[in-house]
Amino acid sequence: MKLKLHIWRQDNAKTAGKMVSYDANHVSPDMSFLEMLDVLNQELITKGDDPVAFDHDCREGICGACSMVINGIPHGPQRATTTCQLHMRSFKDGDEVYIEPWRAEPFPVIKDLAVDRAALDRIIAAGGFISVGTGAPPDGNAIPIAKEISDLAMDAAACIGCGACVAACPNGSAMLFTAAKVSHLNLLPQGEPEKDQRVINMVAQMDAEGFGNCTNYAECQAACPKEISIQFIAKMNRDLIRAKLREGNNAGSGKTGGA
Amino acid sequence: MQLNAKIPAGPLEDKWDQHRFDMKLVNPANKRKYTVLVVGSGLAGASAAASLAELGYNVKCFCFQDSPRRAHSIAAQGGINAAKNYQNDGDSVRRLFYDTIKGGDYRAREANVYRLAQVSVNIIDQCVAQGVPFAREYGGVMANRSFGGAQVSRTFYARGQTGQQLLLGAYSALERQIGLKKVAMYSRCEMLDIVLVDGKARGIITRDLINGKIERHAGDAVVLATGGYGNVFYLSTNAKGCNVTASYRAYKRGAAFANPCFTQIHPTCIPVAGDHQSKLTLMSESLRNDGRIWVPKKAGDTRAAKDIPESERDYYLERKYPSFGNLSPRDISSRAAKEVCDEGRGVGPGGLGVYLDFADSIKRLGKNMIAERYGNLFEMYERITGENPYEVPMRIYPAVHYTMGGLWVDYNLMSNIEGLHVLGEANFSDHGANRLGASALMQGLADGYFILPYTIGNYIAGAKLNPVTTDHPAFAETEREATNQINQLLQINGKRSVDDFHRELGKVMWDYCGMARNDAGLRTALERIPQIREEFWRDVRVPGSGTYFNQELEKAGRLADFLEFAELMCHDALMRTESCGGHFRTESQTEDGEAKRDDENFTFVAAWEYKGVGTKPTMHKEVLEFENVHLSTRSYK
Ligand SMILES: Cc1cc2nc3c(=O)[nH]c(=O)nc-3n(C[C@H](O)[C@H](O)[C@H](O)COP(=O)(O)OP(=O)(O)OC[C@H]3O[C@@H](n4cnc5c(N)ncnc54)[C@H](O)[C@@H]3O)c2cc1C
Ligand code: SF4
Ligand code: FES
């Protein structure tokens, strides 16, 4: 099939970008979306043009590298599917396809469709961990964890850190990403001791990075390739309120630090 | 070249304990005076970097992805082994050791493998403590499943995303140290070469992938945890960025490369769909627990699967290997699939596929149970192929998946270059000629969490490390060479793209150094590779310049190394006239087509020494001594 592509081209964060149109004339329905772009890039290179830069690595929907807004939707039209797993059978001959990078203040464009998402790593560094050093922890079965809890934690832990939730949100909020990590760890007994500090620190970092507020559009959930539920945002908000309350109480009684 | 494996004396069970006691310690107050450069942030690199920083070392960690969390380890699906014996089914450290040695077709070191089995149990505990959500039973304890090549249930898993969850665990430990400013993280930063001072590894040269800046980093020890080189075949299950550059550069600077031809072909991947194919997707081997593999009995049978009656199906693994059946090890299953396809019994477009059928399991366990176990894998399959595996059997075909070969290391995970340590898939150490499923994750984390943090201390405490800064002439010289190569690549301005050359190389490797190898084919490859390389350096087109985010330039640099490395693989494969594990020499097979080992002549590790581009490298042998297991013919019948 033949497609008309309109792709965002931008040299770097300091220059302005623009949409440029290309014809893709040899698209097979069995191609992945990225393979379709590979073919375009091969043509551009042969012609002496600059190929389109985009992030990708695993091409299996798990590393979270790929990141394109396709016809206005982060990761494109197919539900629960990353860009790299989207296949061209989702399109039909003659379609026009608009391809743009994640757009959000904290994600400056590096080139074309590739953006800098280091802000997400910094949110994790602020508290997305359990403070246990390598050593001799107790036997893995010492604390039984109910299957429902473990499964729910896993639902949250499935986040691939792609940032589509941010790109989808009219406010550029990173709540879904942050809530997924907070919930994963706060749900588990191992995460209990640092529960309060974790949520306070991660939310503070998220704000410091310049991500917007959540006003319940729920666009994030719709765009999320791993179907992370916005219930985790509600859970994070509860954790945060409780943590703040306890922090207040502790401050009153002169104690410091997390529970 | 001196190769001393430094295997501690004493009984197998006590070696590691004794060694830990004998090793020198670095005074805690002194640790912060030492800098360790960790290249790689996969399971091996992230776990090492985090653990070293916790101990107090200064750590710099590098990865080429935009975040350490995206290292290729993230893609591992199936699980991680550990000799916990939670299922009470007769597992033990000794059994895991034995299975791994046997699975590797007796081409790995006993002492290393035993230690791996020993620390496997700590890994699970460590990961649980970090919050890795392993699958649980209703009673709250962890669930296990069995994997190819084992008759016990010792594989721990987190849905079909075990690698992801383990890596997120290690990544969170790493991010914690980054937050504490004990690790300096360099993402989108590629190591181009290693710097030796007085014969010791003292630094690396990197390129910042965003602005193209070439930078120097000095340290007291260098750790390579840069993964495997399966992408030499172009098509593989590896992530697109996986490459051999770091290991190969170390080899060119004098590190021995061990068993480069030992490649694992995974039996359950989605078949190639067309010329545009950019990578192959693995369907976790765990599927073989409940899926049955078959092809039509008749060659050229083009009926749909559902129209082929039971009596006309050949469940060839169950038939040929009744005791392991569909769970036979990877090399055996892969070759069996190739065989039936070569006989014209393959299914799907091009006849390069076999069925993996869940109909019986769905009948027996119900669709829900199957969805619970493999739901995400089934969805992934459907997204890629457009077929629904709950209704029609999956089609699978073998694909390059893992490389057992790697830089040679001693018992301390140090290469023959002093101070250069190599972890994870990048080293050759534990899997011999074939890796068992769920053992790579185990090895990566064993190396990073529980082995290197001890052995590197021993090195640092014992080595006389003069202060070295990036002003040392060795840095300038190595940097100059790296810059020259980049400029050269940019100046050629030829007609063919990097990918075009890579595909050509990959096809030569798959045809002649793939699932089955022989003398004539390998000699053909050894003629073809230098020709492709010569053409590459004459006619490749790398657009743009080196001062911005230029992905073609990145790929070109990696391919330049693959184009030399491929020759090394073929030399190794040609030298090893026996068949063993993933290395199948058609000249060396039994009457019924099984691999035939030659223990008398090949019970050794082949460690190759670089002699110049296009010049045959020199082989050094590390003879393998087996004191605790009896070398038997691997039989899964
Ligand atoms: C699809 C798939 C599924 C798998 N499933 C399983 C499984 O279920 N169980 C199992 O045990 N094993 C499995 N494996 C194998 C296992 O995932 C890998 O062997 C293992 O994760 C390798 O880890 P590593 O840390 O050695 O390297 P990697 O995870 O590959 O990490 C390499 C790191 O090095 C960095 N790097 C590389 N080169 C450079 C350079 N030049 N400069 C800077 N940085 C560099 C990369 O950025 C990355 O951070 C699977 C493999 C694949 C492909
Ligand atoms: S929550 Fe979903 S969309 Fe957001 S980063 Fe995680 S996986 Fe991506
Ligand atoms: S490339 Fe890894 S998720 Fe798309």
CA-B74 nearest atom, ligand 3: 2
Q: Is the pLDDT of residue B176 over 80?
A: yes
Q: Which atom of ligand 2 is nearest to the CA of A158?
A: 7
Nearest Cβ partner for B175 among A61, A86, A129:
A129
Mean pLDDT along residues A167-189: 98
Task: Identify the pLDDT of residue B149.
Answer: 67
DSSP annotation of B76: -
Q: Which of A198-202, B44-48, B347-351, B480-484 has the lowest mean pLDDT?
A: B347-351
Tokens of B618: 């020199």
Q: In this predicted structure, what is the pLDDT of residue A55?
A: 98
At A17-67, the pLDDT tens digits run 999 999 999 999 999 999 999 999 999 999 999 999 999 999 999 999 999
Q: In this model, does residue B64 exceed pLDDT 70?
A: yes
Work out the average pLDDT over B168-179: 98
Q: Are B469 and B37 in contact (CB under 8 A)?
A: no
Domain boundaries, chain B: 267-399, 491-603
Bridging pattern class, strands B354-357 and B292-296: antiparallel
Query: How far does residue B412's CA lie from ligand 2's centre (Å)?
Result: 40
Q: What is the pLDDT of residues B407-419, one digit of tens each?
A: 999 999 999 999 9
Query: What's the complex ipTM?
Result: 0.96
Q: A43: buried, middle or exposed (CB in 10 Å: 19+, 13-18, 0-12)?
A: middle
CA torsion B198→B559→B206→B428, rounded to 10°? -50
Q: Which of B279, B501, B540 to mutate to test the interface with A (most CBs of A within 10 A)?
A: B279
User: What are the pocket residues of ligand 2 if the criterion is a CB atom closer than 6 Å to any ligand atom?
Assistant: A 159-165, 176-177, 180, 223-226, 228
Q: Which residues contact B542 (CB under 8 A, 6 or more apart)?
A: B489, B490, B492, B493, B498, B550, B552, B553, B556
Residue B319 alpha carbon to ligand 1 centre in Å: 34
**pLDDT at site B196:** 98
pLDDT band of residue A255 (cuts 50, 70, 90) is: very low
Instruction: Provide the H-helix boundaries in B81-150.
Output: 93-103, 110-130
In this predicted structure, the answer to whether residue B206 has a pLDDT above a threshold of 70 is yes
Indicate if ligand 3 lies below 6 Å from the C-beta of A67.
no
Q: What is the 3-state secondary structure (H, E, C) of B145-214?
A: ECCCCCCCCCEECCCCCHHHHHHHHHHHHHHHHHHCCCEEEECCEEEEEEEEECCEEEEEEEEECCCCCE
Residues 6+ apart with CB under 8 A from B278: A32, A34, A35, A38, A59, B240
Tokens 């939707």 found at: A73
Instruction: Output the pLDDT for position B147.
Output: 79
A66 by Cβ neighbours in 10 Å (0-12 / 13-18 / 19+) ranks as: buried
Query: What confidence tier does A251 reach under pLDDT thresholds 50, 70, 90?
Result: low
Would you say domain B491-603 falls under CATH 3.40.50.10800? Answer: no
B267-399 maps to which CATH number?
A: 3.90.700.10
B56 touches B186 (CB < 8 A): no
**Contact call for residues B172 and A124 (beta carbons, < 8 A):** yes
Q: How much is the pLDDT for A124?
A: 98
Answer yes or no: B136 catalytic: no
Beta strand B58-62 pairing with B35-39: parallel
Q: Which amino acid is at B156?
A: F
**Hey, do B267-399 and B491-603 end up sharing a CATH topology, with the first three levels equal?**
no
Q: What are residue A21's DSSP bridge partners?
A: A6
Spell out where B239-391 has E strands.
257-258, 263-269, 292-296, 313-314, 354-357
For A123-137, what is each residue's pLDDT tens digit?
999 999 999 999 989
Amino acid identity, residue B182?
K
Tell whether A134 lies on the interface with B, counting CB pairs under 8 A.
Answer: yes
For the stretch B340-375, pLDDT in tens is 999 999 999 889 999 999 999 999 999 999 998 888
Q: Could you tell me which chain A residue has the CA closest to the CA of B554?
A: A53
Return the structure tokens found at B108.
Answer: 């790995």
- Tell whether A165 lies on the interface with B, counting CB pairs under 8 A: no
Task: Indicate the DSSP class of residue B30.
Answer: H
Phi/psi of residue A79, each to 5°? -60, 145
Q: Which of A35, A36, A58 to mutate to test the pocket of ligand 3 (most atoms within 8 A of CB)?
A: A58
Q: What is the pLDDT of residues B92-134, one digit of tens each?
A: 999 999 999 999 999 999 999 999 999 999 999 999 999 999 9
- Set out the domains of chain A in order of their start, with CATH numbers: 3-110 (3.10.20.30), 117-253 (1.10.1060.10)
The phi and psi torsions of A152 (rounded to 5 degrees) equal -65, -40
Sign of CA dihedral A29, A31, A34, A39: negative
What pLDDT was estimated at residue B522? 98
Q: B22-28 long-range contacts, Cβ below 8 Å, gap at least 24?
A: B23/B454, B23/B455, B23/B457, B23/B458, B24/B457, B24/B458, B24/B461, B24/B462, B25/B457, B25/B458, B25/B461, B26/B457, B26/B460, B26/B461, B28/B56
- Chain A residue with CA closest to B47: the answer is A134
Distances in whole angstroms, Cα of residue B506 to Cα of each of A146, B335, B583 = 48, 19, 17
Model confidence band, residue A256 (pLDDT cutoffs 50, 70, 90): very low
Q: Is A151 exposed, middle or buried (0-12, 13-18, 19+ CB in 10 A)?
A: middle
DSSP state for residue A138 in the 8-state scheme: P
Mean pLDDT of B46-73: 98
Distance from the Cα of residue B566 to its chain's centroid: 16
Interchain CB distance below 8 Å, B383 and A126: no
- For residue B43, report the distance from its CA to the centre of ligand 1, in Å: 7
Dihedral sign, Cα of residue B450, residue B453, residue B459, residue B461: negative
